[in-house]
Amino acid sequence: MAPPTTRARDRGAHAASSAGVLSLDTLFLVLLCLPAKEICRLRVICRSWRSLTFDPLFVKEHAARHPGPLLLAKFRDDEEHVHVVDLLSGNVVVKRLAGAGDHHQLLCTNLDLACLVTKCNSCRVLSPATGAIYTLPKYPALGDPNRADIYKPATAFAFGRAPSTGEYKVLRMFNRRHLHGEHRRQLFDVCTINGGTSNNAQWRAQSRDIFVDAGSAVAVGGAVYFLMHGTYYPFKRPDAVLTRNPPDHIASFDIEREEWRRGLRGPISGSLDMDNHDDRNEYSGLRHQLTLAELKGSLVIANCSHFRSIMDIWFLTDFENGLWVKEYSIKTELIKGRLTFDYCVKPLLVLDDGRLIIYVVLGATGQLLICDPQANTSTEVEMGHLDSIGIYTGNLLSLQRGW
């Protein structure tokens, strides 16, 4: 591979005419050492510096040296914007217009696009790089008579990317709350955002006789995973009876093929002894303690035990054989002195030095913590009152405005 200086000379020599006393090669190397926010301030100095720092080669080299991490965040005191945040400093580095104050929340994704949704069937996809907003249609998939009554539904969404095609897809779930018992069911639609646009986008029906906890959805690789609902009726069966799922039973949807996959048993409930009093207590509270997330490119299930004051984090290592490995056991005192039942603890990210970024929601308040399992310490990231959050995998130097 040619050194950066040679490639810079080949691809951007035209920018050196007014680069000052530094040669283009030297300037290239010096600017690579600076953080992205400083580079974006320097872009206003002259046209040649701006041209160099927008060059795709420079952007790629800089991203390799400064990998992040970056967050997407919405704050409770700013309904109109999605913010890109430098995680370790807590500084907002750019903000993009999003929901115009109509109570959209960010889905917790790990992508270079953001997905904003409401429970009233509104979904928008935002490109932080361009500021473009794509509004998905509210109308249901055509040709399904069961969907005639879902114009005012309780909806939930998941957002992911097909690995081989690069297509972004939204999975929408309808809960028909007015129905009960064997008539209660969920309906599913899929919509593709082709090439980053929603022009002529249409929903496609994806029905299956399952019932999932729609709020537990997480997209990992080419699949969306859900915790199964505790009880449901198997549909389309004349002898339907109430079925009970283990608390850590997981359903998954293949984003690329748009097919439901077989169920996956979690690593926790099967190891509990129902003849043991403590294990029975653990099982009874398990469903409210579990969170699905993505860490290091893998599906994880986190069990923040209210009874043991420990959060165990299990990594899925083999989907076909249902194999899990427990990699972390974190004392919940590191997360919060006292966790009530009105909480949600979601692992977000593993830093290069092994520390974990954890998102904690206590009632209506969200906060970010950096936990060090080895040192048994935690530090709160100083920022405003969080409403919702995700990981941003895009490059700051590609953002065109907002600095």
Burial class (CB in 10 A: 0-12, 13-18, 19+), 20: exposed
- Are 117 and 85 in contact by the 8 Å Cβ rule? The answer is no
- The 10 Å CB-count burial string (b at 16+, else e) for 326-343 is ebbebebebbbeebeeeb
What mean pLDDT comes out for the span 285-314?
Answer: 89
Classify residue 382 as left (phi > 0), alpha (psi -120 to 50) or beta.
beta
Comparing 299 with 213, the larger pLDDT belongs to 299
- Residue 254: predicted pLDDT: 95
Which residues lie below 8 Å from residue 283, measured CB to CB, with a gap of 6+? 247, 269, 272, 274
Q: pTM of the prediction?
A: 0.82
What mean pLDDT comes out for the span 202-219?
Answer: 82
What mean pLDDT comes out for the span 313-342?
Answer: 81
d(CA 174, CA 152): 10
What mean pLDDT comes out for the span 327-345?
Answer: 70
Comparing 309 with 218, the larger pLDDT belongs to 218
Model pLDDT for residues 80-97, shown as the tens digit of each residue: 888 888 887 666 767 776
Residue 385 predicted with pLDDT over 90: no
What mean pLDDT comes out for the span 328-338?
Answer: 71
Give the tokens for residue 241.
């009876």
Comparing 367 with 9, the larger pLDDT belongs to 367
Model pLDDT for residues 276-299, shown as the tens digit of each residue: 767 777 777 788 889 999 999 999
d(CA 209, CA 217): 17
Q: What percentage of the chain carries pLDDT values higher than 70?
A: 75
Comparing 333 with 196, the larger pLDDT belongs to 333
Model pLDDT for residues 140-156, shown as the tens digit of each residue: 655 454 555 555 567 88
d(CA 163, CA 220): 10
174-183, 226-235, 364-373, range with the lowest pLDDT: 174-183
For 22-131, where are the alpha helices, taking DSSP H only? 24-32, 36-42, 47-54, 56-65
d(CA 116, CA 336): 28
Number of C-beta neighbours around residue 86 at 10 A? 18
- Residue 122: predicted pLDDT: 85
- Residue 224: predicted pLDDT: 96
d(CA 168, CA 179): 32
- Are 290 and 227 in contact by the 8 Å Cβ rule? The answer is yes
Q: How confident is the model at residue 134 (pLDDT cuts 50, 70, 90)?
A: confident
Taking Cα atoms as reference points, which of 162, 136, 292 lies closest to residue 216?
A: 292
Residue 196 predicted with pLDDT over 50: no
136-150, 236-250, 389-403, range with the lowest pLDDT: 136-150
Give the residue carrying structure tokens 């992205």: 36
Give the angle subtended at the CA of 249 by the CAs of 253 and 190, to the nearest 5°. Answer: 20
What mean pLDDT comes out for the span 165-173?
Answer: 92
For residue 69, is the peptide bond before it cis, meaning its omega torsion is within 30 degrees of 0?
yes
- Are 202 and 189 in contact by the 8 Å Cβ rule? The answer is no
What mean pLDDT comes out for the span 5-15?
Answer: 44
- Are 224 and 217 in contact by the 8 Å Cβ rule? The answer is yes
Please tell me whether residue 42 adopts helix, strand or coil conformation. helix
- Residue 152: predicted pLDDT: 55
What mean pLDDT comes out for the span 171-194?
Answer: 71
What mean pLDDT comes out for the span 179-193?
Answer: 70
HSE toward the beta carbon, residue 172, CA cutoff 13 A: 30
